[in-house]
Amino acid sequence: MAVGLTPKHIFEYALNELSSERFLTLAHETALSLQWKVSFVSGEGILAYTDNGVFSWNAEVKIKIEGAVAKIQSASVGSEIMDLGRNKRNVEGFVSAFESVQKKLSSEEIDVKFELLKPQFSVDEKGVLNLDPASSKDSIKNFFSVFVPSEEFSITPILLDANILIFVLMAIDGVNIFLPDNQSLLDWGANFKPMTLEGGWWRLLTNCFLHIGIVHLLFNMYALLYVGVLLEPLLGKIRFASVYLLTGIAASVASLWWHDLTISAGASGAIFGLYGVFFALLTTNVIEKSAREALLPSISIFIVYNLVNGLRGGIDNAAHIGGLISGLVFGYALLPSIKKPADEKFTWVTVGFLTLLTFVSSFVIYHKLPNNMGEYELKMKEFVEREAIAMEVYQLTGDTPKEKLLAEIKDKGISSWKENIKLIDSFKDVDLPLAVRTRNRLLREYCELRIASLELLYKAVAEDTDQYKEQIQQLEWQVESKITEITGKQTEE
């Protein structure tokens, strides 16, 4: 069983007395007999893909002639870490089928088939392989090298390092590495509608580099690494970096539009953007047909699984969908510049246009979205201030003059609670989350109980009597019960 970023199995087959031409012909016939999709043939080797169906894992098979041996390599195509022995079985199956084909064909038949195969040889092998995303995986030599930028693979390592570094800094700062609290996430730049719309526009980008625990980080970094290995060599540094940042912003805006009170953090919106771009390109001819057919199933499964998984609570599916849709749009928009890799100016113009489009659309949505919760939170600060003023009545001592005591109860106590009821009622027609509307109803009932208690206290002081003492006590118990109910609701939220 092979384990790793790209599980693979390599076997060296000795040619013995078999010429490279005859081996190549037999290898091609063997691949066809196994119903593999041959995408590239040259005098040096063959590139083919297994065809195990839409919902099965497939593999890329490379057969390269090197001197007196042929190296046969089967490498997983898709986001699997363990191949459960599939690649080894692919190679063993090929060798077994190869020997069967060799026994069936005479030397003359092999030579005839070679002459028929020669016209299919590629003139530019290197160029064809560069169009094959899976071949770029060979540049990753070991685990730690994925974090070190190289000439052909630099943006993905930089993004990995940035996400991990920020997580480490959060941990050093005392943030829980398994389940960070909401305040810590907000302090570090998570996306939260009331704060983002209240001048915190920068959260649309910073949240793309935060993670809600180490498990969240590991899953996202694996997904980023895998799509980066496939996509960065195809897009190039400029386009790849732009896609991550711009689709990340688009995903954050989608989350902002959909959620009122959700704290959003994570690279998954931007990663979905990358998968959206890759999916778009897999529907075009920029990637060789056999490679497309091998990669589409695994990419589709990743997208569908994560969207379905996002339906459960605690996952920001709005960001996933926003990233995916923007990625699809970007993928098709980038296609002309991908087909002209030498035209760097065209690439910059395309990226510039997409950047402008993202910024302008985000700016418009940002300023059009009502910040009802932001306004609500500001008003609730007034509520708390008036509550503090009203509670000062209970701090008055027994030797306070009667007239002053009555004035304090009426002007500070009862009046403040009535103002708070007006404040709560001002949000009656405002579109607020159900949880907030429920809390407002409880707060209004709380204010009414406070008023009823103070009105009885006012009468008791004015009439200089204790006859309302039990009623006041009953109301105070109801107040305490209401406070417990309110705080309990807030905890559940």
- Rounded to whole angstroms, how far apart are CA atoms 155 and 228? 8
Joined tokens for residue 13: 């087959």
Q: What does the DSSP 8-state code read for residue 465?
A: -
Tell which phi-psi region holds residue 9, choosing left (phi > 0), alpha (psi between -120 and 50) or beta. beta
Look up 268 and say whether it is catalytic.
yes
Identity of the residue numbered 203: R
**Among residues 298, 320, 337, 453, which one is catalytic?**
320
Q: Which tokens in the block code for residue 263?
A: 């704290």
Contact call for residues 49 and 292 (beta carbons, < 8 A): no
229 CB contacts (<8 Å, ≥6 apart)?
5, 6, 136, 137, 140, 153, 156
Where do we find the tokens 């870490």? 81
Three-state SS sequence of 17-65: CCCHHHHHHHHHHHHHHCCCEEEEECCCEEEEECCCCCCCCEEEEEEEE
List, as one string, the DSSP characters of 95-161: HHHHHHHHHHS-HHHHHHHHHHHGGG--S-HHHHHHT-GGGGGGG--SGGGGGS--SSS-HHHHHHH
From the candidates 42, 74, 242, 268, give the one annotated as an active-site residue.
Answer: 268
- SS3 at position 310: coil
Q: Are 451 and 417 in contact (CB under 8 A)?
A: yes
Q: Is 242 a catalytic residue?
A: no
Give catalytic residues, as residue numbers. Answer: 268, 320
